[in-house]
Amino acid sequence: MNTEMDIVSLSEINTVTPYRVFYLFEKKEVLRFSTDKGLNYAVTFVLDKTLDLPNMYQLVIEEIN
């Protein structure tokens, strides 16, 4: 998540996702979830200033097993 502002709501995400989503760190910058197969993923939204467009983010998904 972006440290400048919250761009996602964890409670809203958990109402529509098949997996329970949590914050990976206390800073609430990275979300995490585990699949039914035991795979763990981290999800981050990074503010992208490369194209000089307002409110543009990169979505980064990493396996963290």
Question: Per residue of the chain (65 residues), what is the pLDDT tens digit?
Answer: 444 445 568 899 999 999 999 998 877 789 999 999 999 999 998 889 898 898 898 999 999 97
CA–CA dist 22, 50 (Å, integer)? 29
**Region for 28 from its dihedrals, namely left if φ exceeds 0, alpha if ψ lies in -120 to 50, beta otherwise:** left
pTM over 0.85: no
Domain boundaries, the chain: 10-63
